[in-house]
């Protein structure tokens, strides 16, 4: 980004940021974030109008097959660079988070590319994500739910031999009286909708962009639900 950012209208600057995010240009995204903050935009406004809006475009094109995993990872890294500037400011101002998520791969599964992509896309959508890594048994998932009190628990499995363990985790949540407190999303290559229903998950997400859309919809549904 060679032009002088200070001479650009805010609306145009936001569009440039969206393009830079799309192209995975981390330094340019950071420069845009800093310029918007210099103009006294609130950190939350920069997050939602700049980073989240830009990642929404990335998510749509990923879903539609226009962008592929390497390009989305580049966009997500650029988003994280912008978030590194905003995160301490958001904490200071007590800015609202769209929601909190705990995510990890299940016991026996060490494949994490899909999980990492979901993490980045969820962060890009404004969620606070606690990634507990790979090969997690039920106790680790339960402890993470107790520690972080997330709105959403995401589980990933890439092997047909490990995916049944998702049911073990959900049963453990039920035994710990935590199941009603979290939305459970499952995903991974061998996972499908019938399996998700069979193990008692709230939804199956076939990829990271679907995970974001599903998470937002279920969060909205939960907020609007009126206790009987």
Query: What is the per-residue pLDDT across 79-116, written as a single tens digit (0 to 9) for each?
Result: 999 999 998 998 888 877 789 999 999 999 999 988 99
Of the CA atoms within 13 Å of residue 24, those in its CB half-sphere come to: 12
Cα 126 versus chain centre, distance: 7
| Residue 183 backbone phi and psi in degrees, to 5 | -85, 125
Two tokens, residue 94: 């007590």
E strand or H helix at 217: helix 208-224
Cα 84 versus chain centre, distance: 15
Other CB atoms within a 10 A radius of the CB of residue 207 amount to 17
Given this model, what pLDDT does residue 220 score?
A: 92
Given this model, what pLDDT does residue 228 score?
A: 43
Given this model, what pLDDT does residue 2 score?
A: 53
Task: Report the CATH architecture of 5-93.
Answer: Orthogonal Bundle (1.10)
pLDDT band per the 50, 70, 90 thresholds, residue 226: low
Two tokens, residue 194: 């019938």
Given this model, what pLDDT does residue 224 score?
A: 86
Given this model, what pLDDT does residue 90 score?
A: 86
Q: Report d(CA 115, CA 133) in Å as an integer.
A: 9
Query: What are the extents of the domains in the chain?
Result: 5-93, 99-224
Which CATH code for domain 99-224?
3.40.50.280
pLDDT band per the 50, 70, 90 thresholds, residue 227: low
Q: Which residues pair with 103 in a beta bridge?
A: 131, 154
Taking CA atoms, 31 is separated from 9, 13, 18, 55, 75, in Å, by: 15, 10, 13, 17, 15
Q: Report d(CA 4, CA 2) in Å as an integer.
A: 7
Given this model, what pLDDT does residue 127 score?
A: 92
């Amino acid at each position: 980004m060679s032009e002088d950012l200070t001479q650009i209208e805010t609306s145009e600057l936001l569009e440039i940021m969206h393009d830079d995010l799309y192209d995975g240009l981390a330094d340019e995204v950071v420069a845009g974030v800093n310029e918007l903050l210099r103009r006294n935009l609130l950190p939350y406004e920069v997050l939602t109008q700049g980073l989240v809006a830009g990642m929404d475009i990335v998510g749509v094109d990923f879903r539609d097959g226009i962008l592929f995993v390497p390009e989305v990872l580049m966009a997500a890294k650029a988003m994280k660079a912008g978030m590194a500037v905003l995160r301490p400011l958001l904490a200071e101002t007590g800015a609202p988070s769209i929601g909190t998520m705990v995510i990890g791969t299940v016991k026996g599964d060490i494949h994490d590319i899909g999980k990492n992509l979901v993490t980045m896309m969820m962060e890009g959508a404004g969620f606070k994500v606690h990634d507990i890594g790979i090969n997690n048994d039920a106790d680790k998932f339960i402890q993470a739910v107790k520690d972080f009190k997330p709105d959403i628990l995401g589980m990933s499995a890439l092997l047909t031999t490990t995916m049944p363990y998702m049911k073990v985790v959900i049963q453990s949540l039920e035994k710990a009286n935590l199941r009603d407190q979290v939305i459970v999303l499952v995903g991974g290559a061998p996972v499908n909708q019938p399996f998700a229903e069979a193990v008692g998950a709230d939804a199956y997400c076939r990829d990271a962009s679907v995970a974001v859309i599903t998470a937002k919809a279920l969060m909205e549904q939960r907020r609007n639900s009126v206790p009987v």
